[in-house]
Chain A
Amino acid sequence: QVQLQQWGAGLLKPSETLSLTCAVYGGSFSGYYWSWIRQPPGKGLEWIGEINHSGSTNYNPSLKSRVTISVDTSKNQFSLKLSSVTAADTAVYYCARRGSGYDPYYYYYYMDVWGKGTTVTVSS
């Protein structure tokens, strides 16, 4: 059974860079995209970006200028960096596995395995 374990700094000052890593245990690293999602306190889910095993990335346009997602296939890990953080970046950050498929007649995408979440607080 695939499990995701995530870690990283939980308290940052404004202008610092958020850095989180997610390790994949118990399953194949290829064949999926690996995603980051965040949830501000009391609010909904926001997709940040994703990467596949070959390093192909896809970012939320609203965050693209500050986000870098990278992959280390030798360790089955992927990482998130978000630069120049502000209080608005305070959130629980989740990593997740993203799969896809095709049913006649539509494509579909889903996130079926999630990490437990890391609370990141930005405060001076």
Chain B
Amino acid sequence: SSELTQDPAVSVALGQTVRITCQGDSLRSYYASWYQQKPGQAPVLVIYGKNNRPSGIPDRFSGSSSGNTASLTITGAQAEDEADYYCNSRDSSGNHPGFGGGTKLTVL
């Protein structure tokens, strides 16, 4: 078990800001990375490290971390942001990667 906990579902009104969180003891020592997955598609990396976006990821996506909680913030959510979001970090031993259970984001 990766021991990373995410809320199963979150909703946001179109154009508003939403924060998706990931909790785990390993986040006190490692940054999380965040992945967006749309139905039938492979996950896409959206945030990694302290707050880094891969090329092609809109700047409305940002990341932050405090204590045992990592957060993915979408500022001005768009309809195309509706997807499942997964955090990824190390397990409590630091030896193995693990994923959170995922958060289903609905854009209203």
Residues of B within 8 A of A (CB): 1-2, 29-33, 35, 37, 42-45, 48-50, 54, 65, 86, 88-90, 95-102
Shortest CB distance B78–A (Å): 22
Scan A33-73; emit 1 where CB is below 8 A from any B CB, else 0.
00101000000111100100000001111100000000000
Residues of A within 8 A of B (CB): 35, 37, 44-47, 50, 58-62, 94, 98, 101, 103, 106-112, 114-117
Q: Report the Cα distance A61→B43, complex, angstroms.
A: 23
Contact B30 A108 (CB under 8 A): yes
With known contacts A94-B43, A110-B33, A116-B42, A44–B101 Cβ distance under 8 A = yes
Contact A47 B97 (CB under 8 A): yes
Contact B49 A111 (CB under 8 A): no
With known contacts A46-B99, A60-B96, A109–B90 Cβ distance under 8 A = yes
Question: 6 closest A-B pairs (Cβ-Cβ)?
Answer: A110-B48, A108-B31, A110-B33, A103-B50, A114-B42, A45-B99
* B49 touches which of A50, A61, A103, A117 (Cβ 8 Å): A103
